[in-house]
Amino acid sequence: MIHSLFLINHTGDIFLEKHWKSVISRSVCDYFFEAKEKAVDPENVPPVLQTPHHYLITIYRGKLFFLSVIQTEVPPLFVIEFLHRVADTFQDYFGECSEVIIKDNVVTVYELLEEMLDNGFPLATESNVLKEMIRPPTILRSVVNTLTGSSNVGDTLPTGQLSNIPWRRAGVKYTNNEAYFDVIEEIDAILDKSGTTVFAEIQGVIEACVRLTGMPDLTLSFMNPRLLDDVSFHPCVRFKRWESERVLSFIPPDGNFTLMTYHVSSQNLVAIPVYVKQNISFFETGNCGRLDITIGPKQTMGKTVEGLMVTVHMPKAVLSTNLTASQGNYTYDLATKVLVWDVGKLNPQKLPNLRGSLSMQAGAPKPEENPSLNIDLKIQQLAISGLKVSRLDMYGEKYKPFKGVKYVTKAGKFQVRT
Amino acid sequence: MSASSAFNDEKGGSSSVGEPEYGHDPASGGIFSSDYKRHDDLKEMLDSNKDSLKLEAMKRIVAMIARGKNASDLFPAVVKNVACKNIEDPNQLIRASALRVLSSIRVTIIVPIMMLAIKEAASDMSPYVRKTAAHAIPKLYSLDPEQKDQLIEVIEKLLADKTTLVAGSVVMAFEEVCPERIDLIHKNYRKLCNLLIDVEEWGQVVIINMLTRYARTQFLNPNINESLLEEGGGGEKTFYGSDEEEDEDEEEKEKKAEAAVMAKRKPYVMDPDHRLLLRNTKPLLQSRNAAVVMAVAQLYFHLAPKAEVGVIAKALVRLLRSHSEVQYVVLQNVATMTIKRRGMFEPYLKSFYIRSTDPTQIKVLKLEVLTNLANETNISTILREFQTYIKSMDKDFVAATIQAIGRCATNIGEVRDTCLNGLVQLLSNRDELVVAESVVVIKKLLQMQPEKHSDIIKHMAKLTDNIQVPMARASILWLIGEYCEHVPKIAPDVLRKMAKSFTNEEDIVKLQIINLAAKLYLTNSKQTKLLTQYVLNLAKYDQNYDIRDRARFIRQLIVPTEKSGALSKYAKKLFLALKPAPVLESPFKDRDHFQLGSLSHLLNAKAGGYQELPDWPEAAPDPLRVPEWTKCSSREKRKEKKVEKPFYSDSEGESGPTESADSESDSASGSESASGSEESGSGSESEESEEGSESEEEEEEEEEEKDKKKKKKEIKKPVQESESALKNYELLHRITGEGLSVEYCFSRQPFSPDGNMVAVQMQFTNNATSDTKNLHMEDVKLQSGMRVKEFPEIELLPAGETATAVMGIDFCDSTQAANFQLCTHTRKFFVSIQPPVGELMRPVFLTENEFKKEQGQLMGMNEITERLTLDVKCRNEHAIVQRVTTAANLSRVPCGSDKECRFAGKTVTSGSLVLVTVATKEEGAAQLTVNCEKMVIGTMLVKDILLALTQ
C-alpha cells in the first residue's frame, strides 16, 4: 500500500526517506514541489497528487510535509490517517514533531517506521505496543547508549499485540495508582457583524491520563449523557455499553490517550462566553483606517475568561498600526499582516479595549472587506455544554485509585465577521 | 539481513554461475575441484545436523563473499539455517519476526523457502504468526506472481481463521493477490461480519471495502423500488425483512417503514446477511479513525436502503473537524453524495459554512457542497452566506463563489432574477477577477433565456462606460453582439462608442469590437455599415497581427465582393448560429460510479489496481454463505477459540473481561460461592456464565490468591466444546418415571466447581398432568474414589415443562457407573450414569512437535495400533475428524500431512495424555494408533473409535 515516505521541510529539502518495498527515487517529489510552488500556501497543496507512475499523498504537520508514495488503489484517508498517526507517534516519543527533533532521533525514527508498517501495511500503530518494543529516548538512556553502544530496542518482547487488548501493555505496575480525565470543550462559532450567532457548536474531547496497575476495567458515567449528540471512541470503549446504558466502559491503555470526542450540536443552545464590539473602517482618502475593538463577558456561567486573544488577518494594504490597548499587548507582523492582541484575563468591571489608527499603503484602493476577528479564550473549571462526569468505577483490581476530573472550555474556530 | 544483501549484491555483479573456477579456494582446499563441487560440499555441510559444521560452512561462505566470489546459489541453504531456525523457535514473537525478515528478502531464489515458511506459519498455533504469514503473502506474490495458485490456497486457509488478529491481514492479502476470487468469501462472510468490530482499525477498512464489493454481487438492490419514484421523495419507504433487530429504536423505525410501505407495493425483503453487514458496520461510524468512518459511510452509501443512509451524515460531518487533509477527502466524498442524496446533509448545512481561515481548497469544496445542498427552502440562507464570501480577500474563493451563485441560479428558477441582480451589482466591483467572473456567469445565465433579460443586457451595455476590466468589457461586447436583436437600438450605439475608443482598447476587447461590428453588419447593415468599415480599417493597421488577421478574415467573410468565395453566403449562419447554453453542473456529478472513499474517486480516474464496484445483480445468486458454526465442526484449530472470543464485540451483550472482573471482585468482597454453582446449576449454558462461576469457584478453593494474572489466563481459556450435536442418553424413561423423563448428555463443558469432574447435563421433562416438586438426588452409590457433585434441587417442575441441570461426576478415569436415586416429592427412582470412555477426557492443545515428542514417550505397552477399513462415508479428512471428535472429547492437532489426523486429550481425573492418530491409506484403509499411559482407557478408546470410523 504505502510504498515510501519522504519527510520534507517547508523550504523543500528532503531530509529523511524510508522505503518499505523497493527504493523509489526522490525525484518523484518533484511533482510535489511543482504543486507546492503553484499553491503558494502550504495548506493549499492538494493532499493527493497524480504523477505518471505514482500517487503522492501528503500531509502537512508542524511545518513538515509527510509525503507518501502509493502505486495502486488505496483509500486516501487510510494513508492520511496513517501519516498523522506517524506524526502523533513522533510527538508522543519526542515531545514535538519538528525537523531538528527528527534528525536528532533518526535511529529511533527509523525503528518506529519499520515497526509501524510491514510491506506498506500498518502493523503496530498503538503507542503502548510500540513503546514496549522501542523505548522512547530519555537523556540518561541516550548517554548510556552512546557509551555502551546499545540501542533503545526493548529487551522484552511486546505481548500487547498478541492479546485481545492490543492497546494495553501487560504487567503495568505503579506505586501511585491514578486516573485523570480532562474534559475539554471547544466552541466553534461564527458571529456576524451585529453579534448574532450564524453558527455555533461545541466540540468536546475527553483526554485521559491513566496510570493504573494491572488490568483495570473502568466505567465512566455522566450526569447528562443525552447531551452528547455525536461521539467517537478510542477502540477500547465498549460500544454496546454506550448504546444501551450511556456509560463508557473500557480497559484503558496505559498512559495518555484520547478516550472520546463528542459533539454538542447547534440545536442545543450553545452559550457564547464573550461579546465583541468592533468597528473597523478604512477611509477613501488619506490612506488610513480606524480600529476599535471592545470585548465583554456574555455567558460565562460565573467563571473568569482567561487567555483571551484576538487575531486579525489585515488586508495587504495595511502598512502599520498605531493602536492603544487598555489591557494586554498587541503586535502587528508587517510581513504576514497579522495583528495579535493578547488580552489575558477578562475583567468584567473594566472591559479591555484596543483602538487607534491603521495606516495604509499610499495609492492602494480601499479594502472592500473588513477582516474578521479570530478569538481565543479559555475558561477553567467549566464545560460550557454543561456536561458532568458523575462517577468512575473500577473493576478487576483491588486497590483504590486516585481519580480526578478537570473541565476546560476553549474557543475553537471562533470567528467574528466584521 | 546484512548477509542477505551481500548475497543479493553478489548475485547481481557476478560472473555466470556455471563458470568453473580454479584455485584460490578456501572452501575445498583442492586446486582441481570445480565450482559445483565446492558448493556441493558447502551445501552438505550446511544441511548437516551438526552446528559446528554449519558454522564452519558459514565462515567459509563469508570469506568467499569477502573475496568477491559468487555464492548466490548457496543462498537458500544459508537462509534455511539463519531464518528457519528461528522460524521454529518456541517463542511466537521470534517465529513471527523470523518470517518477517525472511519474507522481506527480495531475491527470487528464496521463493521456494518463503513459500514453505508461509505455509508452515499459516498453520501455526499462534495467531500472531499466522497474521505475519498473511502479511508475507503479498510480498511473495510481488516477488513471483507465478506462485499465485499456491498463495490462494494459503489465503483460503487463513480466511477460515477465526481470530481478529488474522482477519484484517488476510483480507489485505486477498485484495492484493486475488480480489476477483469472491467465491472464497462465501464461507467466511458471516464470520468476517461478526469479527469486524474487534479487528484492528486498518484491517477494518480493508474488510469493509472488500465486503462492499462482495455485497454488490450477492444481494439485491434495497432501493429497487425507490428508483421508480422521483428523487427527493425522502421518507421511510424502504421495507426490509429482518426482524432480528435488538435495538428498540431500530425496530420501531423498521415497523414504521414497514407500515408505510406495505400498502404501496410488493415487498422487497432484505437478505438477512445483507442486514447483518449493515448492522455490524454501523457502530464503527463511531471510530476515532477517519478511514474507518469513511469506509462505513461508503458501505452505507452503496448498500443501504435509502432511508437508512442518513446515519452516515453525522459521522462525516464530524470528520470535518479533523486535519485539513481529512477534510479535503471527506468533502470530496460528501460533494459526490450530496448530488444523489441531498436530503441527508441538509440538516448539517451550517457545518459547511466557510471560515476565513480555511485553506482555499477547503473553501472551494465546501462551496461545492453548499451549492449542491441549495434548494427552494434554504436558498435565501445560502445566498446570504454567499454574499459574505464575495467580500473575502481570497480572490480565487470569490471567483468560485460567483460560479456557485450562477449554479444556484440555474438550478433554482425562483432565485434566478435575484442572483442575476446580485451578479450585475458585482460588475461594479473593483476587483478585475470578480467582475470578469461575474460577467462570465451572467453571460451563461443570459444564454438560457436571453429574451427575458434584454433589460440586463441593456444595463450591461451601459456598464461599458464605466467598466475598465478588459475581460469584462470583452464579455459585454460579446453579449451585445450575440443578442443584438434583443437590443436593436442600443447595439449600434455601443459600437459607435467602441469605434471611438478602439485604438485605446486592450487586444481582447478589440477582437470583440470586430466581432460585434461583424454581427451588427449582418443584422443591421443599414445603420452600421459605415461603422463597421471604420472599425475594420482601424484594425487593418493595428499593431497586433492577430487583430489585423481577424479584420482581414472578417472583411472577406461579411462584405460581399466579387472575389469573396461561397462562404460569405453563410456568414450569418456562421456568426449568429444558435450557441448552446453552457451547462452549469457539478464536477462531482456521476462520480459515484467509483467506489466512494477510493483513490480513484478522488482523482476521478481509475487508479491502478482499482476494483470496479459491480452493479447490483438482477436476481440474487444462491446464497452460498454458510452459517458460522458449521465450520467449527471441522475443529481445525480449536486452540484459537480462546483468542477468538470477541471481548469487545457488540454481539456479546457483556464482554468477557467485564464479566470475569466483576465476579472476581464480588467473591473478593466475600460473597457466597453458592451463587456460582447455582448459576451453573440452573442450567444456563452460556459459556460466559460458566466461566464466571468457574472463576469464582477457583477463588474459593484457593483463598490466598497469589498470582492474579495466572488466574486471568485460566479464565480467558475457556475450552470451547464441540458444537456438533451431543449424544443424549436416557436416564429415566417416562413410563418408568410415571410421567417424568430424564435424559442426560456429557456437555463437554468444564465443570467449574471441580475441575476433576465430568459435567453431565440433565434434562428433566414433566410429561405428567400434575406438577413435580422437590426434584433432587439422594443415596449416591459409588465405587471407591469416585465423587459426585449433586445438581441443585429443582423445587418445582410444572406439568409439561422442561428443566435442565448440571451435575459433576468424578469417574476416576474409569467407566464404572455412578448409581443414585432420583427423588421427587412423591417417588424415588434408581438410576445410573455410565460414561463412554471418550467422555472421560478433555481436549488439550498440542503443536505437531509437542505431539510427536509426547508420542515418543508413550511407546511400547502404552501404544495400541489397529488396522481398519474406513466407512465409505468417512473417507475424507473432515468426516474422520467429525467422527473421532464425536466419539471422544479430543482436540485436533495441526498436522503437515493430509494423510494423517491427530488428536490429543487428557483424562479428566489424572490428567494422563491421550494421543490418537488416524493415518489413512489407499482405498479406505487406515491405521489407528492410540497412545495412552492408562492402558485400559487406551484399549477401550480404540474400540470406540474403531466403531465410530467403520460404521
The residue-averaged pLDDT of A230-246 equals 88
SS3 of B595-624: the string is: CCCCHHHHHCCCCCCCCCCCCCCCCCCCCC
pTM above 0.90, yes or no: no
β-pairing verdict for A402-416 and A178-191:
parallel
Check whether domain B40-221 has CATH 3.40.190.10, yes or no: no
SS3 of A128-160: the string is: HHHHHHECCCCHHHHHHHHHHCCCCECCCCCCH
Q: How confident is the model at residue A149, as a pLDDT? A: 59
Q: Among candidates B786, B793, B726, which has minimal Cα distance to B764?
A: B793
Percentage of residues of chain A with pLDDT beyond 70: 93
Does position B883 have pLDDT exceeding 50, yes or no? yes
Question: In this predicted structure, which of A116-120, B685-689, B752-756 has the lowest mean pLDDT?
Answer: B685-689
> pLDDT by residue (tens digit) across B474-511?
888 888 888 888 888 888 888 999 999 998 898 999 99
Q: At what angle do helices B360-373 and B324-340 cross, to 10 degrees?
A: 20
The residue-averaged pLDDT of B562-582 equals 75
Does position B650 have pLDDT exceeding 80, yes or no? no
Taking chain B, what is the end-to-end CA distance rounded to the nearest angstrom? Answer: 56
Q: How confident is the model at residue A341, as a pLDDT? A: 93
| Fold type of domain A274-380 | Immunoglobulin-like (2.60.40)
Check if the beta carbon of residue B631 is closer than 8 Å to that of residue B664. Answer: no
Q: How confident is the model at residue A158, as a pLDDT? A: 58
Q: B472 vs chain A: nearest CA distance in angstroms?
A: 19
A154 close to B (CB below 8 A): no
B355 close to A (CB below 8 A): yes
Does position B240 have pLDDT exceeding 70, yes or no? no
**CA B775 to CA B420: how far, in whole Å?**
89
DSSP labels for B775-810? EEEEEEE--TT-EEEPPPPEEEE-TT-EEEEEEEEE
Highest mean pLDDT among B163-177, B641-655, B725-739: B163-177
- Which residues make Cβ contacts (< 8 Å) with residue B413, sequence separation at least 6? none
Where does B840-949 sit in CATH, by number? 3.30.310.10
Q: How confident is the model at residue A183, as a pLDDT? A: 94
Check whether domain A2-148 has CATH 2.60.40.420, yes or no: no
Distances (CA, A) of A153 to A20, A89, A100, A133, B102: 20, 16, 22, 6, 20
Per CB-CB distance under 8 Å, the chain B contacts of A201 are: 351
Check if the beta carbon of residue A319 is closer than 8 Å to that of residue A359. Answer: yes
H helices present in A159-248, as ranges: 239-245
Residue of B nearest to A193 (CA): B388
Average pLDDT of every residue of chain A: 86
In this complex, do A82 and B330 lie within 8 Å of one another by their Cβ atoms?
Answer: no
Q: B54 vs chain A: nearest CA distance in angstroms?
A: 28
Q: What is the dihedral of CA A150, A151, A156, A160, to 10 degrees?
A: 170
**How sure is the predictor about B882, in pLDDT bands with cuts at 50, 70 and 90?**
confident
The residue-averaged pLDDT of B293-312 equals 91
Q: How confident is the model at residue B706, as a pLDDT? A: 46
Same fold, A178-269+385-416 and A274-380: yes
Question: In this predicted structure, which of B34-48, B455-469, B682-696 has the lowest mean pLDDT?
Answer: B682-696
- The DSSP call for residue B744 is E
Q: At what angle do helices B416-426 and B379-390 cross, to 10 degrees?
A: 10
> pLDDT by residue (tens digit) across B541-557?
999 999 999 999 888 88
What does residue A28 show for φ and ψ, rounded to 5 degrees?
A: -60, -25
Phi-psi region of B619 (alpha: psi -120 to 50; beta: other; left: phi over 0): beta
**CA B110 to CA B120: how far, in whole Å?**
15
Q: A364 vs chain B: nearest CA distance in angstroms?
A: 12
Does position B600 have pLDDT exceeding 60, yes or no? yes
Amino acid identity of residue A260, one-letter, is: M
Does position B895 have pLDDT exceeding 70, yes or no? yes
**CA B325 to CA B335: how far, in whole Å?**
15
Does position B646 have pLDDT exceeding 50, yes or no? no
Does position B305 have pLDDT exceeding 50, yes or no? yes
Q: At what angle do helices B290-303 and B324-340 cross, to 10 degrees?
A: 10
Q: How far is CA B51 from the centre of its chain?
A: 46
Residue B449, judged by CB atoms within 10 A of its CB (0-12, 13-18, 19+), counts as: exposed
β-pairing verdict for A247-250 and A274-282:
unpaired
Q: What sign results for the dihedral spanned by CA atoms B9, B15, B18, B20?
A: negative
Q: How confident is the model at residue B258, as a pLDDT? A: 52
**How sure is the predictor about B6, in pLDDT bands with cuts at 50, 70 and 90?**
very low
**CA B16 to CA B800: how far, in whole Å?**
87
The residue-averaged pLDDT of B648-656 equals 40
**How sure is the predictor about A59, in pLDDT bands with cuts at 50, 70 and 90?**
very high
CATH class of the domain at B728-835: mainly beta
**CA B743 to CA B728: how far, in whole Å?**
6
B5 close to A (CB below 8 A): no
Q: How confident is the model at residue B911, as a pLDDT? A: 83
> CATH 2.60.40.1230 occupies which residues in chain B?
728-835
Highest mean pLDDT among B132-141, B586-595, B878-887: B132-141
**Looking at chain B from residue 649 to 688, which residues have their Cβ under 8 Å from any Cβ of chain A?**
650, 652-653, 655-658, 660-662, 664-665, 668
**How sure is the predictor about A209, in pLDDT bands with cuts at 50, 70 and 90?**
very high
Q: How many CB atoms lie within 10 A of CB B648?
A: 24
Does position A85 have pLDDT exceeding 90, yes or no? yes
**Looking at chain A from residue 213 to 252, which residues have their Cβ under 8 Å from any Cβ of chain B?**
214-215, 217, 229-236, 238-240, 243, 249, 251
- Which residues make Cβ contacts (< 8 Å) with residue A299, sequence separation at least 6? A271, A272, A273
CA gyration radius, chain B: 41
Does position B14 have pLDDT exceeding 60, yes or no? no
Q: How confident is the model at residue A141, as a pLDDT? A: 63
> pLDDT by residue (tens digit) across B40-98?
777 777 777 666 777 777 777 767 766 666 666 777 666 666 666 667 777 777 788 77
DSSP labels for B94-135? HHHHHHHHHHH---GGGHHHHHHHHHHHHT-S-HHHHHHHHH
Classify A226 as helix, strand or coil: helix
Check if the beta carbon of residue B710 is closer than 8 Å to that of residue A170. Answer: no
> CATH 3.30.310.10 occupies which residues in chain B?
840-949
The residue-averaged pLDDT of B617-643 equals 53
Residue recorded with cell 458496520? B281
**How sure is the predictor about B634, in pLDDT bands with cuts at 50, 70 and 90?**
very low
**How sure is the predictor about B226, in pLDDT bands with cuts at 50, 70 and 90?**
low
**How sure is the predictor about B877, in pLDDT bands with cuts at 50, 70 and 90?**
confident
Amino acid identity of residue B664, one-letter, is: E
Q: How confident is the model at residue A152, as a pLDDT? A: 59
Phi-psi region of B605 (alpha: psi -120 to 50; beta: other; left: phi over 0): beta
Domains of chain A: which residue ranges?
2-148, 178-269+385-416, 274-380
**How sure is the predictor about B584, in pLDDT bands with cuts at 50, 70 and 90?**
confident
Per CB-CB distance under 8 Å, the chain B contacts of A214 are: 708-709
Q: How far is CA B432 from the centre of its chain?
A: 50
Does position B705 have pLDDT exceeding 60, yes or no? no
**How sure is the predictor about B933, in pLDDT bands with cuts at 50, 70 and 90?**
confident
**CA A29 to CA A65: how far, in whole Å?**
11
Residue recorded with cell 484491517? B203
User: Best residue in A44, A48, A67, A164 to probe B by mutation, most B CBs within 10 Å?
Assistant: A164
Q: A352 vs chain B: nearest CA distance in angstroms?
A: 25
What does residue B769 show for φ and ψ, rounded to 5 degrees?
A: -90, -15
**CA B361 to CA B396: how far, in whole Å?**
10
Q: How confident is the model at residue B375, as a pLDDT? A: 87
> pLDDT by residue (tens digit) across B323-377?
999 999 999 999 999 988 888 899 889 889 998 888 999 999 999 999 999 988 8
Strands of the sheet containing A329-333, edge to edge, are: A230-233, A255-264, A197-211, A178-191, A402-416, A373-380, A305-313, A338-344, A329-333
Does position B631 have pLDDT exceeding 60, yes or no? no
What does residue B391 show for φ and ψ, rounded to 5 degrees?
A: -85, 0
Residue recorded with cell 453524495? B337
Percentage of residues of chain B with pLDDT beyond 90: 13
Check whether domain A178-269+385-416 has CATH 2.40.240.20, yes or no: no
Check if the beta carbon of residue A201 is closer than 8 Å to that of residue A263. Answer: yes
In this complex, do B205 and A78 lie within 8 Å of one another by their Cβ atoms?
Answer: yes
In this complex, do B351 and A122 lie within 8 Å of one another by their Cβ atoms?
Answer: no
Does position B920 have pLDDT exceeding 60, yes or no? yes
**Looking at chain A from residue 85 to 114, which residues have their Cβ under 8 Å from any Cβ of chain B?**
none
**CA B149 to CA B883: how far, in whole Å?**
31
Average pLDDT of every residue of chain B: 76
Q: How confident is the model at residue B733, as a pLDDT? A: 81
